A and B are shown apart, each in its own frame.
Chain A
Amino acid sequence: MNLTDTISISPQAVATQVGDEAVILHLASGTYFGLDPVGARIWQLMKEPKTLAEICDVMLAEYDVSREDLERDTMNLISDLVAQKLASAS
């Protein structure tokens, strides 16, 4: 995965906001996942397909974090989401 990849939410994923966190259901497997406030914000940004770099640009403006840490952690989260078939990167 790299910063120019476009990230999209899977049509098999259904999510709801719970306070500032989120719960996602993967329909095909019936498995539920939880996102903390940071993960929920990234999921919100993913609702319209964006590149990883575009997501990081928005997050960098909102969170007090270095670009290096942000890119690494966002990439890790999205890799988890892709591995769980909740999102795709192309």
Chain B
Amino acid sequence: MLRGLVSRNAGSFGSFLHACVSVKKAKAIKLSNSVTEIRLHRHQFAGMAVASAWPLPELPSDRAPTSVRPTITISLLAAPPPNPGARDWIHHWPEELGAMSLGRIVEGNKFFLRFPGLADFVVAQNGSAVDVWRGPETTPETLRHLLLDQVLPRVVAQKGRLVLHAGAVRVGQEAIAFVGDTGRGKSTLTASFHAAGHSLLSDDGLELLPEESATRIRPTYPSLRLWPETVAGLFARQPDLAPMAHYSSKRRVILNSVESSAPLPLAALYVLTPDAQDDVDGISLTPLSPREACMTIVSNSFQLDVTDLRRATSLLTVASNIAQQLPVFSLAYPRNFAVLPDVRQAILNQHRQAPTKGSGGK
């Protein structure tokens, strides 16, 4: 029989920068006592220069001269931004993906991202500016978590990049990456490789850079966020930890020696299966078809305006091209810490057997 449809798949905040336009010398003398110059903090996110009104210590510093215009400028709003009209809300993400809502502000053609009770973010259509309203109960670290892990990956995607919700570590001169639904152990497996000596690239976001014969990856930023029991189960000596958000007991691992390197070739992508712990006896690695790989890449990609036909078409095309050259595997294993060394070994064995196409230079 024929078959057709087969699957479905913030510290303290500074005040705002006041732009002082050129004034005549006589007037400048009077202004000099009333205008406070606030230095913008310059960081790197997904290889882009980000200028923020307040420091973002999780991000690497941007060493470019201050005369270089930042790609994304982040400002704080002194008052809540006007809400989108009742008909201008265009998408709501479910709880497990962050419980946020996307609206459109017709005046100025901007996007409005609301995290109910926490913060609002107003994003310029071209992704060049993000204005932030922090709710009264929201702590600085919560605001940074929302900005770095939810908003900025989507802003980068809005600028036409493919940003995968994935963890990655370095293996030799290449990278391997892990995707999986929330709670499937993506960060735990990434952290396990890191604890075993592999350089951590990111636990959350990777920009995919397709090239003629291979796909390279660039981490959005080096992060590792874990539950306290995961830290206890993985690290012989507890690393330094910091709060991630006031509503979660997850902790950020303070990463002292994170390398900043050129984009690495991606050797393989592993998809953590959603099997319940009791359903899996051993470790299995199963190659996915290009169609399954394409669906995996697209469904794990960050997007801002999910209703944008042109961007959706472009994303599908790019994901299709990547899926036809990148080895993608379904990975199943029992969810307990004791088995993780064997899981790592199975992945490394597979990696040794099947070097990436176009990973020349090894």
Contact = CB atoms under 8 A, between A and B. Distances in A.
Contacts of B4: 35-36, 38-39, 42, 73-74, 76-77, 80
A contacts with B: majority SS: mixed
Nearest to A83: B5
B10 interface: no
B320 interface: yes
A24 B290 CA distance: 14
Given A16-B294, A32-B299, A23 B320 contact: yes
Contacts of A38: 2-4
B90 to A, nearest CB: 10
B37 to A, nearest CB: 44
B290 A27 contact: no
A3 to B, nearest CB: 16
Contacts of A77: 2, 4-5
Interface residues of A, number: 33
Given A21-B291, A22-B291, A23-B294, A80 B5 contact: yes
A14 B8 contact: no
Contacts, number: 99
Contact of B309 (A14, A15, A35, A36): A14
B9 A33 contact: yes
Interface string B309-335: 100110011011001100000000000
B336 interface: no
A30 B311 CA distance: 13
Contact of A73 (B1, B9, B293, B320): B1
B292 interface: yes
Contact of B324 (A18, A30, A63, A84): A18
A17 interface: yes
Contact of A81 (B5, B293, B295, B309): B5
Given A14-B312, A39-B3, A70-B2, A34 B320 contact: no
Nearest to B323: A18
Contacts of A21: 289-291
B298 interface: yes
Contacts of B294: 16, 18, 23
Given A19-B291, A27-B307, A34-B291, A73 B3 contact: yes
A27 B312 contact: yes
Given A14-B313, A16-B320, A17-B320, A34 B290 contact: no
A25 interface: yes
Contacts of A33: 5, 7-9
Contacts of A74: 2, 4
A87 to B, nearest CB: 11
Interface in A61-79: 63, 65, 69-70, 73-74, 76-77
16 contacts: A14-B312, A14-B316, A18-B324, A25-B316, A27-B312, A32-B298, A34-B7, A34-B9, A34-B295, A36-B3, A65-B2, A69-B1, A69-B2, A73-B4, A76-B4, A80-B4
Interface of A: 14-19, 21-23, 25, 27-28, 30-36, 38-39, 42, 63, 65, 69-70, 73-74, 76-77, 80-81, 84
Given A18-B324, A33-B5, A84-B8, 12 more contacts: A14-B312, A18-B290, A18-B320, A18-B323, A21-B289, A27-B306, A27-B309, A34-B5, A34-B291, A65-B2, A73-B4, A74-B4
